[in-house]
């Protein structure tokens, strides 16, 4: 796990030793968490998972890695930097037992010289959506990958509630609108009614379970995270499409959602 801001080069090959480490013990396995520093800053955290066969990570290991990752971030924000973030992409390195890691990554920023910021569209969106600043904020928050996935999904769900709920009940237009995306649901292998599926994932995010008997606090199970992450681009498209259609005569579009 890379701690932002980024540096140009990352090495973990046995020559660079961690500044400190901790052992996390479960009933069946140990996990080693190592902290790497340079020039008075923390730049990388490594989680060692033992007994990985055929480069396949067990579900129990993935769940534990998520717990460790979240706890690392929480502790860093309390002891290192309140605004610290982890780079959204995790690096994996499979090595044989008793051998040193073999990780060497270089990073550089690439600036597109042909990029057009479409300033007039930015201006139109700014002016036209001013009466619905809350909906725009919810859609914007959903795209912030520094936030946990369940919070981002609930932001989109809240936007849908604001548009399609009256006195705590869904109006008929809700099902009509989301049903227009039914083919795209089917393409994702989702055969439940779109209106019901959206609510089902909301319940997953609002009532997190990390195991059969354990309620989670801030982290989805790996299975739920994969399902919500797979559906998230379509949910974003539905919400962006909804806002765009509210003002079809204003000449703007919401782009680059993911």
Query: 45 near 13, Cβ under 8 Å?
Result: no
pLDDT of residue 133 exceeding 80, the answer is yes
User: In which residue are the tokens 């890379």 written?
Assistant: 2
Domain boundaries, the chain: 9-106, 119-246
Task: Compute the distance between CA of residue 253 and CA of residue 4 in angstroms, rounded to an integer.
Answer: 32
What pTM did the predictor assign?
0.75
The neighbour count for residue 61, using CB atoms within 10 Å, is 19
Residue pLDDT, tens place only, 151-200: 999 999 999 999 999 999 999 999 999 999 999 999 999 999 999 999 99
Nearest Cα to 202, choosing from 185, 176, 220? 220
């Amino acid at each position: 796990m890379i701690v932002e801001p980024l540096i140009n080069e990352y090495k973990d090959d046995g020559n660079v030793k961690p500044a400190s480490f901790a052992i996390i013990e479960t009933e069946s396995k140990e996990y080693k968490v190592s902290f790497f520093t340079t020039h008075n800053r923390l730049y990388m955290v490594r989680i060692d998972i033992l007994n990985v066969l055929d480069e396949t990570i067990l579900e129990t290991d993935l769940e534990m890695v998520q717990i460790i990752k979240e706890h690392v971030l929480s502790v860093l924000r309390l002891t290192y930097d309140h605004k610290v973030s982890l780079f959204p992409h995790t690096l994996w390195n499979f090595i044989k037992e008793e051998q040193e890691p073999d990780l060497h990554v270089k990073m550089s920023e690439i600036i597109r010289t042909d990029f057009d910021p479409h300033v007039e569209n930015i201006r139109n969106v700014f002016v036209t959506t001013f009466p619905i600043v809350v909906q725009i904020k919810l859609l914007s928050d959903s795209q912030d990958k520094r936030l946990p996935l369940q919070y981002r999904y609930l932001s989109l769900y809240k936007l849908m509630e604001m548009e399609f709920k009256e006195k705590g009940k869904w109006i008929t237009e809700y099902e009509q609108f989301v049903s227009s995306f039914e083919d795209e649901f089917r393409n994702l292998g989702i055969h439940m009614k779109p209106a019901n599926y959206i609510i089902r994932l909301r319940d997953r995010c609002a009532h997190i379970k990390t195991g059969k008997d354990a309620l989670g606090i801030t982290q989805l199970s790996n299975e739920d995270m994969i399902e919500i992450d797979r559906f998230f681009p379509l949910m974003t498209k539905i919400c962006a499409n909804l806002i765009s259609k509210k003002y079809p005569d204003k000449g703007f579009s919401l782009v680059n959602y993911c």
